[in-house]
Structure 1
């Protein structure tokens, strides 16, 4: 019987931790492990090996896989250059509290510290991004290192890194002995369904029961607790705001769910924050303090599995360290039923008016390209049940926040706190691998698509035969501009756009798609938007919609502050090369909103006057 190598043991142990899919890119530094993965993948023994076009994509795929499935994501890369490429995706996992294990190659043990080719201090390199990073230096140590990496990733919701020297990979595996300095570890995960003690729950209940205008701020950390969150809202008469990554935690058809708050949020969400007397934060690390209640305005309770993130965003009165679902199971029986639902009804009425404004914004015509909001509005009108939608961190995140409404069973996600530009495509690909029977839509800007998105259509071409439902749709917002940064230059810094840095070279994205054998659709006017989406959803395959949209559509916040207005004016006065288009398109957008808001107030029973200047 052939002897088992350390690499074979590593793969077996990874499977014991419940991993079904790994994302890797080969190289001689991880060659032995690559070989084992190749054999296993060919046998179809339950561990699927996906090889995209770049190591950075491997890490984003692993992060997205963990987000969409709840499993630990696993990515694999070779020594120095391959390992370095993982870092961006691992920071995405770190900042969004996602369990990912990276397995990276290293030169042989005798080469460490001798300045040989591709030998670097990987433990030092990964020390900031990883909650645990360790080099396996002997067969008997392998078990404990692997188990600790997976257990740490799961319980601390963070990335960890296993470094595997080339010569150790090929060594004969050894069962850990009952000896001094040798650890015999367990591959049994620890439960994270923890809840605070009753005394702490009673403190929280006292705060909540005293409130009459309660708002829930719900993040991705509340995923799996949708029913408890809704029961909490019904019991307290609360309105609900979701953080952007928590958008799919609360169904969009809940009338008092006002979607997001902040630069890409809604006016009713902002009014909730300005008017609530009690704030309950559930599984969120929402970072924008200027959109939170004023200090002293609201009593606050926070629930989170990450204890270091309790009480850092707002002066909370009670901090509950625990899983959101388990904590609410204990808290709900302690709450009294709110009989006055006027606060909740007011919120629902305001959001009805806001949705009319969003429709009005989407119907604005611009002289220099299609309205990007129209593209997202028409997508939302046609989203099929169980659809999954991803977005990048540019202006597509604004349109995603303003116009996409995820009903129960739908999923959506993006790079959150890191806000990495290129995540939309690997997120969509990971979602399709995780749920091959479901339609997936990737919304992405042309700048992000040129980063690594175009490459990943090659990955889609390579693996689409594995998907029983091959419907995979990409919409590229083709405006030849890094639009989010362009608007930030104006609104945050008062500087005109510098086209030398902001222009994106125009590419026939639909034509590129057709070269790969996929369906390409060119969307060049607002009137094309509905039919483009209809054609895409009729096609049972891969489709790319090349949406030629204006670069000047303003991503308007719910409330335009004096600073926002003055900085924009400064930028235009200084000689912004796009000032004519920016002025015309902004005026069109603001005019449409003002008209709709007036209709809401005067004719449709609007709940409040507007707040945009």
Structure 2
């Protein structure tokens, strides 16, 4: 006899699933039992059990990103289901196909307020593109197939709810009968190509441009070669969105990395000076870093219709797969003979890279320079590595200093930008590519959330990975650093220790308790040796870097608004005011600092009485930082 659970397991295998990320509970118990049975007889799916259901859904999202397959996560009814929601929103907001299989109490319990019974369809209605409860064996085939098909086509999460008693019911296949659907398990193609007239218009717009910029996102994954060929013919510069960082190799000279808060000055200059912008598979969210209205003709190519024409008034919106669309456009592109635009971009980028290294070499007296740590990591990245970054200042350093070459992968929680995702992403990457090294860059606040737990998961599974190299780089500054800077720069408020301080602990020692290698870094001159040792070790190494909390992760061309708001925050009594001003002075050019000084009225009135601490600082101390 085949049960509903056994059928579902076989069906998801037919959809190409070889691994699920799950956490058990009685609401999904019959299904888990069937998974265990197939594991014992060697016909099953690999079951990875991390330490929390939220980790399961984040790992499923990362699996989809790193493999191109559908990610699958499994959890029990109400509490387990609720825990998975954050990771499913990560899949939704980063356009990833994920299917969640969620338990429910028995059919008779639904609507009767019994323990761990809730309206799961209503709970998941916002996050999922498709959510359905299986109430009969005859229905299950159609529900599972629809969930996978919809997740793939819409690039969104879908949810299948299996009540506990339905999981164990006999399954004979859907009969040929009224009201019964017999569904297809054939995977659909998403290589959509626009009609010929649209392709011609797109080529005409690109050909007419003299200063063309391609803004490339994660939606162009798998299209590297055709994007590069199109850019070469158009004489275009390339900017990558943060999640598209690994689509274009860092050694392409006219690739200027990101734009905006986490970007480069050459990228900003491209945006300010281009006459044509082509958005390829990106929903880049910061409109203030896109061309001004009327400055540039715009084309956008995307598989998500709702993402098109929403950030910039594009002239042409193309519904299609980036690679397939560019393959159609390529023969119609005229080879530019004047490459001065592209060559100028490449020349400026070489200067920017020198500037980034200079920023990494600055020595602060209140902690290790975080830029130096990430620059050293970048300099040691091995071939085929996957690098993950967390939300927070680690994302800034990742954008500014990590340079991914062809064959390397990198990703993070993008539009959701949830904290702690870097660790489950890194572990999922290790499962996806067990023969390749992984680097996780994460802040201490995010590591304390659930990241620490995942060292336990690594301990459980690392023996099955051919390459065990796993480097965890913790930015240890006892501060929720990104939020502290956002309070200053966006709202003009001082950093508030009550919300921002992170309780310190020995992360390297914690790693050693689990049998891993832990290295503490307390000074800049220890960085190189620590990173070298980590990449020489075939196992997990935690680099516990005690970095300054005051190095500003601000945009490459700081705006007057940011400068003025930072000044307001200091005037209101930022508890680390002197270090903020001092470290900002060291990090930014005098042109930027002049703005901050002007906003602070330095050399004028004294503001000692507004500070929260007991130490009074002369204005001359602030002025004196300019000499550094």
What TM bracket, shorter-length normalisation? over 0.9
Over the aligned positions, Cα root-mean-square deviation in angstroms equals 1.1
**Mapped partners of 1:593, 1:148: distance in 2:** 58
Q: Residue 489 of structure 1 corresponds to which residue in structure 2?
A: 487
Task: Pick from 129, 136, 140 the counterpart of residue 138 of structure 1.
Answer: 136
What SS does the corresponding residue of 1:254 show, helix, strand or coil? coil
Q: Residue 599 of structure 1 corresponds to which residue in structure 2?
A: none
**Mapped partners of 1:453, 1:476: distance in 2:** 10
Does 2:224 match 1:216?
no
Contact 1:361 1:592 in 2 (8 A): no
What SS does the corresponding residue of 1:468 show, helix, strand or coil? coil
Q: Residue 468 of structure 2 corresponds to which residue in structure 1?
A: 470
Q: Residue 276 of structure 1 corresponds to which residue in structure 2?
A: 274
What SS does the corresponding residue of 1:421 show, helix, strand or coil? coil
Contact 1:112 1:119 in 2 (8 A): yes
Does 2:96 match 1:62?
no
Q: Residue 173 of structure 1 corresponds to which residue in structure 2?
A: 171
Q: Residue 536 of structure 1 corresponds to which residue in structure 2?
A: 534
Task: Pick from 445, 448, 467 the counterpart of residue 447 of structure 1.
Answer: 445
Task: Pick from 110, 113, 119 the counterpart of residue 111 of structure 2.
Answer: 113
Q: Residue 147 of structure 2 corresponds to which residue in structure 1?
A: 149
Does 2:559 match 1:561?
yes
Q: Residue 626 of structure 2 corresponds to which residue in structure 1?
A: none
Matches within 5 A, 1:181-580: 181-580=179-578
Encode CA deviations 1:576-596: one digit per residue, 9 max, x unaligned: 00101111111111259999x
Contact 1:240 1:257 in 2 (8 A): yes
What SS does the corresponding residue of 1:497 show, helix, strand or coil? coil
1:41 to partner: Cα distance: 2.7
Q: Residue 5 of structure 1 corresponds to which residue in structure 2?
A: 3
1:38 to partner: Cα distance: 1.7
1:205 to partner: Cα distance: 1.2
**Mapped partners of 1:47, 1:76: distance in 2:** 12
Q: Residue 73 of structure 2 corresponds to which residue in structure 1?
A: 75
1:556 to partner: Cα distance: 2.2
List gaps (5 residues or longer) in structure 1.
Answer: 596-613
Q: Residue 601 of structure 1 corresponds to which residue in structure 2?
A: none
**Mapped partners of 2:293, 2:18: distance in 1:** 47
Encode CA deviations 1:399-442: one digit per residue, 9 max, x unaligned: 00000000000000000000001100000000000001100000
What SS does the corresponding residue of 2:452 show, helix, strand or coil? helix
**Mapped partners of 2:479, 2:278: distance in 1:** 39
**Mapped partners of 1:70, 1:88: distance in 2:** 21
Does 2:586 match 1:588?
yes
Contact 1:357 1:593 in 2 (8 A): no
Contact 2:558 2:592 in 1 (8 A): no
Contact 1:553 1:585 in 2 (8 A): yes
Contact 2:35 2:44 in 1 (8 A): no
What SS does the corresponding residue of 1:312 show, helix, strand or coil? coil
Deviates more, 1:158-167 or 1:310-319: 310-319
**Mapped partners of 1:170, 1:337: distance in 2:** 63
Contact 1:360 1:593 in 2 (8 A): no
Contact 1:138 1:168 in 2 (8 A): yes
**Mapped partners of 1:307, 1:337: distance in 2:** 30
TM-score (norm 2): 0.94
Deviates more, 1:465-474 or 1:425-434: 465-474
**Mapped partners of 1:465, 1:40: distance in 2:** 22
**Mapped partners of 1:259, 1:313: distance in 2:** 19
**Mapped partners of 2:208, 2:250: distance in 1:** 28
Contact 1:444 1:476 in 2 (8 A): yes
Encode CA deviations 1:117-174: one digit per residue, 9 max, x unaligned: 0110000000000000000000010000000000000011000000000000010012
**Mapped partners of 1:44, 1:542: distance in 2:** 29
Encode CA deviations 1:511-544: one digit per residue, 9 max, x unaligned: 0000000000001111111110110011111110
**Mapped partners of 2:271, 2:378: distance in 1:** 26
**Mapped partners of 1:476, 1:287: distance in 2:** 27
**Mapped partners of 1:387, 1:111: distance in 2:** 48
TM-score (norm 1): 0.96
Contact 2:91 2:156 in 1 (8 A): yes
List gaps (5 residues or longer) in structure 2.
Answer: 594-628
